Homo-oligomer: A and B are copies of this chain.
C-alpha cells in the first residue's frame, strides 16, 4: 500500500541531506524533538499538519514544493506517468522520425 508518510519522510530526509544538515540542526530549528523528526523521516510517525509546516519552515522549503515532490514520487510508485513529460503523441512522432526508412 502506498502511504503518504513514507514519501513525506523520504522527501524531508532528502531535502535535509541536500542542505548537509543534521537531524539535530533541523529538529532544533523546527522546535521538535530529534527522535520525532527521525521517526517522521523514516515514515514511522505520521506528522501532524502543524509539525509538517514547522519542519518545512526549518528546511526553508515551501510546503507546496515538498508536496509536489511527494506527489511526483507517489505517481511513480502508482505507475502513473509523472506530469509534465513529453506527451505520448509527440513521443510517437519522434520515434517515427527516427525509424530508418525502407
- Chain A residues in the interface with B (C-beta under 8 A): 1-6, 46, 48-50, 52-53, 62-65, 67-68, 70-72, 74-75, 77-78, 80, 83-84
Contacts and interface: CB of A to CB of B under 8 A. Distances in A.
A3 B67 contact: no
Query: How many subunits of this chain does the assembly comprise?
Result: 2
Contact of A78 (B64, B77, B83, B84): B64
A78 B66 CA distance: 13
B67 A70 contact: yes
Given A62-B75, A64-B74, A67-B71, 6 more contacts: A2-B63, A3-B53, A46-B49, A63-B74, A64-B77, A65-B75
Contact of A67 (B6, B62, B67, B84): B67
